[in-house]
Structure formats: structure tokens, C-alpha cells
A = this chain, B = another copy of it.
Amino acid sequence: MTKIALVTTGGTIDKDYFDALSDYKVVESIIPELLARIGSGVEVEQHEICRKDSLELTDVDRAALKACIESLECDKVLVTHGTDTMVDSAQALGDMPGKTIVFTGAMRPARFLDSDGLFNVGVALGALQSKESGIFIAMTGQVFTPDVVKKNRAAQRFESTSE
């Protein structure tokens, strides 16, 4: 089995629908279960920071995310996060020498039939295993550094700001 450290903060990737509320809510991550279902050979050590829409993340949450990553023995860390402020959180981490950290998330909840969630986790994992060190964002099938990427909300994709 391949072991990875997964730090979860919430976001669309972890939203579920509740009939009794007629509403969506951010819940526990289904990513570890999906990785097991597909026989991926990937075992997850999960650390949950919070379950929030990324627009609701506070400086306290971001400090907790940074402290969690620093505390991990593992040098390679995958972070799932809401898409709206993913770039902000990645930038807020500052320098993390010796660590490789890749953020990902989803445009559609991972509990959907046609979700991009598990695929994006795959892209992030491929980047995590390939990059020497640094902080990256894996979305829309690409691997960005946080300083040159933005979410294009209308087009529903992440794109480079340097082109």
C-alpha cells in the first residue's frame, strides 16, 4: 500500500445533500472511502482541520492548517480545500522548507456520479510524488504554483495568470 497524508478543510469536494434539510452541507471527506472502493492501493492518514466552505475560512483555520502540516512527520502532504480561496490558503502557508504540499478540490461534490473530485485527487497525488518540494495547486488537470493561478468562476476552471 502507498501511504499518503491527507489534510481536509472542507469545500465543495466534501459536500453532501440532506433531504431532511433540503440543503447541501460540508461533511466528512469521502475521499478515503473512494480510494478504498476502487482498490487504488493508496492508504490515507487523514487529518481534518475543519468542514467549511472556503469562503468561510478564517485566519485561525489557516494557522491550524499550517500547524497541522508542520507537525506531520511526512514530508508530502495533500490538502483538500474549497476552490474559492484555495489560492489564498496556499499563499498564506508561506515557506514550508523540505515539504511538498499539493492543494486540490472539486467543482462538483465527490459524492456525485460525474464528479471531478477523485480525479483531481489523482492529479494532485501525481504532482505530490513528482515534485521535489514546494507548494502547488492541482486543478483542471494542471499543476500550478500559487502565485500564478486564479479560479475563473465563470468558466469553472483554474487558469494561469502569467499567460
Contact = CB atoms under 8 A, between A and B. Distances in A.
Interface of A: 1-2, 4, 12, 15, 17, 19-20, 22-24, 35, 37-42, 53, 55, 83-84, 102, 107-109, 111-116, 118-131, 138-143, 153-154, 156-158
A155 B153 CA distance: 37
Q: How many copies does the complex hold?
A: 4
Contacts of A123: 122-123, 125-126, 129
A17 B22 contact: no
A37 B117 CA distance: 12
B127 A129 contact: yes
Q: Mostly helix, strand, loop or mixed at chain A's interface?
A: mixed
B115 A113 contact: yes
Contacts of A141: 2, 4, 40-42, 125, 129
A42 to B, nearest CB: 4
Nearest to A2: B141
Given A41-B141, A126-B143, 19 more contacts: A2-B140, A17-B109, A19-B107, A20-B156, A22-B84, A23-B24, A37-B114, A38-B115, A39-B114, A40-B120, A40-B140, A41-B116, A111-B113, A113-B115, A119-B122, A123-B125, A126-B129, A126-B138, A127-B130
